[in-house]
A = this chain, B = another copy of it.
């Protein structure tokens, strides 16, 4: 990232910071902080100072969520002052959203100063480091769509399920309008809230639609951590993904088409997801080409050792027919997670070589984190539903 861009962004930080009279200390709380919480604070060079008051603790560490977390590979030891405040300042962080928590004498504890976000299978602290190129996911003075909480009954899981549905800004004012639909999935350990909260999906779509870069569309967020059978705890892998596919095909799509003003055909229906959700999107999309014409895999495995005749039950076998049927097949990852994604990238190259049109996107400098996925959506959504 350009230092000039960082510095130009910091003009704003300096103007709004209570410490602006002391430019060497310029730092600010961010939107992921609770109202009034002065810590964590992001410095002008994107170092971050974290603080926790725990006078009786013997050892406190800052723990970024995972090794490719943009806060760096922790844990970071914190030091205690005479008032019992433990602090640490990290190296310069990568812009974007990062999960973290504290380890207090070995106990994982959220930062009481931030909102929590569903990740790592729990309510988890998060910090959103400003990105000088992050204008595309800010709330701006453009028409805003809704994020609608809805409950619907799934015969597959035999339970009421919570979904969040983005409806575009003109949905209410245009009561005869019908819209294409993107089904958009989170990663493992996350939930239907994740694209709405960490992902800022509504702001990304609002801004793309206002700039006429994307068509007004409905976006549906479901929870892909489905239990392998009704009543069971959410399981990992295998049967979970099959159960989720059944939810999407048998319950969710019919519900959405019956309850929202959709364009209910394959040319107006897309599916995408990140990480675990990328695998689900590929599996569900490629197995149901009568329902989807656009498929996006953000930072997802799922496709390795591409073979034209056998991969995904031979769906790619006739490249010309495939290209006609699947209008967008999109793969992407952060450049900093490229090593993990080599097999995917090689498969995409093999696809292209074999005549399958597949897009490869790289998010500069980011890893297996939300900044990669915000940028992925910002690249993917404009390619959908050409008029």
A386–chain B nearest beta-carbon distance, Å: 27
Interface positions, chain A 88-127, Cβ under 8 Å from B, are 104-110, 112, 114-116, 121-123
Interface positions, chain A 132-150, Cβ under 8 Å from B, are 139, 141, 144, 146-150
Interface positions, chain A 14-67, Cβ under 8 Å from B, are 16, 34-36, 54-57
Contact B139 A160 (CB under 8 A): yes
> How many copies of this chain does the complex contain?
2
Does A238 touch B at the CB level, under 8 Å?
no
Within 8 Å by CB of A147, from B116, B149, B227, lies B149
Interface string of A247-263 (1 = CB under 8 A from B): 00000000000001100
Nearest B residue to A196, CB-CB: B149
Q: Which chain B positions have C-beta within 8 A of A147?
A: 148-149
Contact A150 B160 (CB under 8 A): no
> In the bound complex, how far is the Cα of B196 from the Cα of A225, in angstroms?
23
> In the bound complex, how far is the Cα of B225 from the Cα of A16, in angstroms?
21
Contact A107 B57 (CB under 8 A): yes
Q: Which chain B positions have C-beta within 8 A of A227?
A: 35
Q: Which chain B positions have C-beta within 8 A of A106?
A: 54-56
> In the bound complex, how far is the Cα of B148 from the Cα of A202, in angstroms?
12
> In the bound complex, how far is the Cα of B153 from the Cα of A108, in angstroms?
37
Q: Which chain B positions have C-beta within 8 A of A35?
A: 225, 227, 233-234
Contact A116 B112 (CB under 8 A): no
A369–chain B nearest beta-carbon distance, Å: 21
> In the bound complex, how far is the Cα of B136 from the Cα of A252, in angstroms?
26
Contact B150 A146 (CB under 8 A): yes
Contact B109 A34 (CB under 8 A): no
Contact A110 B110 (CB under 8 A): yes
Contact B109 A107 (CB under 8 A): yes
Q: Which chain B positions have C-beta within 8 A of A141?
A: 153
Q: Which chain B positions have C-beta within 8 A of A107?
A: 54, 56-57, 104, 109
A184–chain B nearest beta-carbon distance, Å: 16
Contact A34 B122 (CB under 8 A): yes
Contact B146 A149 (CB under 8 A): yes
Given contacts A144-B150, A144-B151, 9 further A-B contacts (CB under 8 A): A35-B234, A56-B106, A104-B104, A104-B109, A109-B109, A112-B123, A141-B153, A144-B152, A146-B150
**Which 9 residue pairs across A and B have the least CB separation, nearest first?**
A36-B233, A175-B175, A147-B149, A146-B148, A56-B105, A116-B123, A56-B106, A139-B160, A54-B107
5 residue pairs of the A-B complex, CB under 8 angstroms, read A56-B105, A104-B109, A109-B109, A112-B122, A116-B116
